[in-house]
Amino acid sequence: MSESISPDVTVDSRGAACPGPLMDLIGKVQDADPGTVIELQTSDSGSKGDVPEWVEEAGHELLDTVEHDDYWSLYVETTK
Amino acid sequence: MTERIVIVGGGTGGTVLANRLTERLEPEIDSGDVEVVLINDGEKQFYKPAYLYVPFGKKDVSEASKPIRDLIPRAVDFRVDRVERVDTDRKRVTLASGGGLSYDQLVLATGANLAPENTPGLVEGGHHFYGPEGAEALREELAEFREGHIVLSVIGVPHMCPAAPVEFTLMVDDWLRKRGLREDVEITYTYPIQRAHGLQSIADWVTPIFEERDVNLETFFNVQEVDPDAQVLETMEGKEMEYDLLVGIPPHEGSDLVREAGLGDDGWVAVDQHTLEAEHAEDVYAIGDAADIPTSKAGSVAHYAAGTVAARIASDVRGEIPTASFDGKTVCFIETGMDEATFVSFDYGSEPTMREPSKPIHWSKLGYNESYWLTARGLI
Ligand SMILES: Cc1cc2nc3c(=O)[nH]c(=O)nc-3n(C[C@H](O)[C@H](O)[C@H](O)COP(=O)(O)OP(=O)(O)OC[C@H]3O[C@@H](n4cnc5c(N)ncnc54)[C@H](O)[C@@H]3O)c2cc1C
């Protein structure tokens, strides 16, 4: 259950314009140690496609996507 | 009691704010009820957008700076010093020259720092145009570059001026064409996510232009390490790429000051994106690149955010409820070659519409760069 995921880091990209939520996430992933759980909050529906695609390409793990009233939380765990 | 407003950082954000505050609070400053102190760790302000033109010999680094004293009114108490610590409980900053200064309202406008050393091999193996020395070294390198593979790689995320990497790529293409060298040079542009730019509309606009101009586009490309001897880039996604000349947008860092003061975990000040008030302390604001807000690290953002904070502080000083709010307004000119440009404007949550590049927009960008010092002085 998503409620049980407690992120180590939260990235609030709600309302993000340029350069966008995925770039915010990558910035955090670059600095994070392996095993860090990052919650990306985004109000951009495109992120639901963009983020999983990048996470897979980069070899990290998408733990869950949780829909809230006006944003989504994507939980990503870094593997390296 | 004089109410003291301390601004740390005399870049675009800090000087526009000092000007706006003295305008709004003129009577209070004249009567000695309010004092505006601006602290910068040097006499001069550096105008970074000029660095984009330095590699092409179109501007000189010496043209890109001015004494801060000339950009702000006499009424501002300008101090050349470095703030080493912020104590938000005691409402005091500690200065490198010794001693401290208490504040009633504090605004952090400390900008972003380049940290190329965070990517192994980048300092030895790459060039950039994000600082004066880097831009000059790249000019020397480009002047001699006649054939091979130029890779423009967006390495640091976030970075200043999201348009600059696209601009550099289109400019270097045009510059090499005009010098009859383009046939012997391959150009590749790499970007971290699955399209050419964070903003969908810029990505959609530039992708066909890259194709037309024979610029290779590599996406999902996050450089992890540079091998300066073999001249190879290695990415987080497990890719490799050889280069002859690497122009890397370096990693950026916020400030230790911010981290140590507990104002933001990774050196960018956590703020409310509309009020620009710090989330973890009272009477502290952040503007410009130092603020962790969901838009570009751009001079225009620093400028408009300074206007909002000036209005909020002025209301506060007068015992009114501050209502001014920042909507994320961002304006970026985008050079599309050596003599044409376009521009975009947007705010939080909105996508810009792209305009056809033209010569007049290019002249406007150059004109803006020339008149920038009027902006810093709060005149336009
Ligand atoms: C190559 C390039 C091209 C660009 N082109 C554009 C463009 O076309 N349009 C655009 O809008 N933006 C552009 N930008 C971005 C723009 O330059 C920055 O966003 C802008 O300068 C941010 O202003 P600021 O006031 O936040 O920080 P800065 O202008 O960086 O100023 C921060 C100041 O604070 C001082 N400081 C830092 N720490 C301390 C301390 N502890 N104590 C005292 N002083 C301190 C620094 O020395 C500096 O003077 C470009 C940037 C680059 C690198």
Q: In the structure, what pLDDT confidence band is assigned to residue A18 with cuts at 50, 70 and 90?
A: low
Q: Does the pLDDT at position B380 exceed 80?
A: no
Q: Please state, in angstroms and rounded to a whole number, the distance separating the CA atoms of residues B202 and B296.
A: 13
pLDDT number for residue B121: 98
Chain B residues bordering chain A (beta-carbon distance below 8 Å) = 157-158, 162, 192-194, 197-200, 202, 220, 222, 236-238, 251, 265-266, 273, 294-296, 328, 330, 346-351
* pLDDT for residue A1 is more than 50: no
SS3 state at B72? coil
Ligand 1 atom 34: residue of nearest CA: B9
* pLDDT mean over B236-260: 95
Give CA–CA dist B196/A75, Å, rounded: 25
Domain layout of chain A by residue ranges: 2-77
- Can you tell me the distance from the alpha carbon of B254 to that of B267, in angstroms, rounded to the nearest whole number? 4
The pair of structure tokens assigned to A28 is 């955090």
User: What's the mean pLDDT in B46-66?
Assistant: 95
Mean pLDDT of B367-380: 85
Atom of ligand 1 nearest to the CA of B296: 19
Q: What is the pLDDT of residues B210-221, one digit of tens each?
A: 999 999 999 999
DSSP B212: H
**Alpha carbon separation from A25 to A7, A22, B240, B276, B333 (Å, rounded):** 13, 5, 22, 22, 26
Q: Does B296 contact A50 at a Cβ distance shorter than 8 Å?
A: no
For residue B171, give the DSSP letter.
H
**Nearest residue CA, atom 6 of ligand 1?**
B49
Q: Using a pLDDT cut of 90, give the percent of chain B over it.
A: 89
- Whether the Cβ atoms of residue B84 and residue B110 lie closer than 8 Å to each other: no
pTM of the full structure: 0.94
What ranges in B110-163 are assigned the alpha helix state H? 122-125, 132-144
Q: What percent of chain B has pLDDT over 70?
A: 100
Question: Contacts by B86-90 with C-beta closer than 8 Å and gap 24+?
Answer: B86/B8, B86/B257, B86/B258, B86/B260, B86/B261, B86/B263, B86/B284, B87/B261, B88/B261, B88/B262, B88/B263, B88/B278, B88/B280, B88/B281, B88/B282, B88/B284
Q: Indicate if ipTM > 0.85.
A: no
DSSP result, B329-376: -EEEEEE-SSS-EEEEEE-TT-PPPP---BHHHHHHHHHHHHHHHHHH
The Å distance, Cα B372 to ligand 1 centre, comes to 13
Measured distance CA(B294)–CA(A17) in Å, rounded: 6
Q: Is B51 helix (H, G, I), strand (E, B) or coil?
A: helix
Say if A20 is an interface residue toward chain B (CB within 8 Å): yes
The mean pLDDT value of chain A amounts to: 88
Residue B209 has pLDDT above 50, yes or no: yes
**Cα B257 to middle of ligand 1, angstroms:** 16
Q: pLDDT band at B237, cuts 50/70/90?
A: confident
Give chain B's mean pLDDT: 95
User: What average pLDDT does range B53-74 have in this prediction?
Assistant: 95
Alpha-carbon distance of B289 to B201, in angstroms, equals 23
What the block records as the tokens of B94 is: 């500690």
With a cut of 60, say whether residue A26 has pLDDT above it. Answer: yes
Q: What is the pLDDT of residue A3?
A: 57
pLDDT confidence of residue A24 = 87
Token pair listed for B360 = 């007049």
Q: What is the pLDDT of residue A39?
A: 96
Q: Which of A18, A33, A59, A70 is catalytic?
A: A18
- Judged by CB atoms closer than 8 Å, whether chains meet at B273 and A15 is answered as yes
Confidence band for A16, pLDDT divided at 50, 70 and 90: confident
SS3 sequence, A14-76?
Answer: CCCCCCCHHHHHHHHHHHCCCCCEEEEEECCCCHHHHHHHHHHHCCCEEEEEEECCCCEEEEE
A42-51 pLDDT per residue, tens: 988 888 888 9
pLDDT value of residue A20: 81
The stretch B25-42 carries a mean pLDDT of 98
Mutate to test the interface with B, among A13, A18, A23 (most CBs of B within 10 A): A18
pLDDT of B266 above 90? no
Segment A28-79, tens digit of pLDDT: 888 889 999 999 999 888 888 889 999 998 899 999 999 999 999 999 999 9
Residues B42, B184: Cα–Cα separation, whole Å? 43
What pLDDT does B129 receive? Answer: 98
Residues contacting A3, CB < 8 A, separation 6+: none
Phi, psi of B120 (to 5 degrees): -55, 130
Hunting for tokens 């495109």 — which residue is that?
Answer: A46
Name the band, by pLDDT with cuts 50, 70 and 90, for residue A5: confident
Q: Indicate whether B77 pLDDT > 70.
A: yes
Q: Residue A31's pLDDT is what?
A: 82
| CA gap B344, A17 in Å, rounded | 12
Whether chain B has a CB inside 8 Å of the CB on A22: the answer is yes
Look at residue B182 and give its three-state secondary structure.
Answer: helix
Helices B299-317 & B12-24 angle (0-180, nearest 10): 30
| Distance separating alpha carbons of residues B284 and B262, to the nearest angstrom | 12
Task: Render pLDDT for B154-207 as a digit per residue (tens, 0 to 9).
Answer: 998 889 999 999 999 999 999 999 999 999 999 999 999 989 998 888 999 999
Predicted local distance difference test score (pLDDT) of residue B114: 97
Q: Is the pLDDT of residue B378 over 80?
A: no
Q: How many CB atoms lie within 10 A of CB B118?
A: 16
User: For B277, phi and psi rounded to 5 degrees?
Assistant: -80, 140
Q: Is A18 a catalytic residue?
A: yes
Given a contact cutoff of 8 angstroms between Cβ atoms, the answer to whether B184 and B344 are in contact is: no
Q: Is CATH 3.30.110.40 the right assignment for the domain spanning A2-77? A: yes
Query: What domains, with CATH codes, occur in chain B?
Result: 3-112+254-317 (3.50.50.60), 117-250 (3.50.50.60)
Q: Which long-range contacts (C-beta less than 8 Å, at least 24 apart) are formed by B297-300? A: B297/B112, B297/B158, B297/B159, B297/B160, B297/B161, B297/B162, B297/B252, B298/B160, B298/B161, B298/B162, B298/B330, B298/B331, B298/B332, B299/B12, B299/B48, B299/B49, B299/B161, B300/B329, B300/B330, B300/B331, B300/B332
